[in-house]
Amino acid sequence: MISFMFLLMVRVSDPLVPRAMFGVLNTLLYFPSGAIYPVEGFPPWLRWISYIDPFTYAVHALKALLLKNTGFAGIYTDIFVLLGFSVLLVSLSVAFFRRQI
């Protein structure tokens, strides 16, 4: 979510706009993440949304660590997906950043 905030704050000068966008984005990404209902029970169109949702991988990793007691060996794919998503968004933020003093 921090990389999302970097990307939102790059071009916005009013600090209230990203705060409102963060609330909407957080809500929209939370429900298809599988935190409330299992992803396997979703219809196919919502399952595709959950595959590109970074919250899904964070929820899966937390469930694996806390409920299944798998350890870090079971969440390597989740960590790599979250790391790749974060690197992509931070690099986009750096590319869109206004360079002025």
Can you give the residue ranges of every domain in the chain? 2-96
In tens, the pLDDT along 17-51 reads 878 888 888 888 888 898 888 888 999 999 999 99
At 82, the pLDDT band (50, 70, 90 cuts) reads: very high
Query: Cβ–Cβ contacts within 10 Å for residue 57, how many?
Result: 22
Residue 78 has pLDDT above 90, yes or no: yes
Q: For the residues 59-77, what does the mean pLDDT come to? A: 87
Which of these, 82, 76, 62, 75, lies nearest to 3 by C-alpha position? 82
Q: What is the Cα Rg of the chain in Å? A: 16
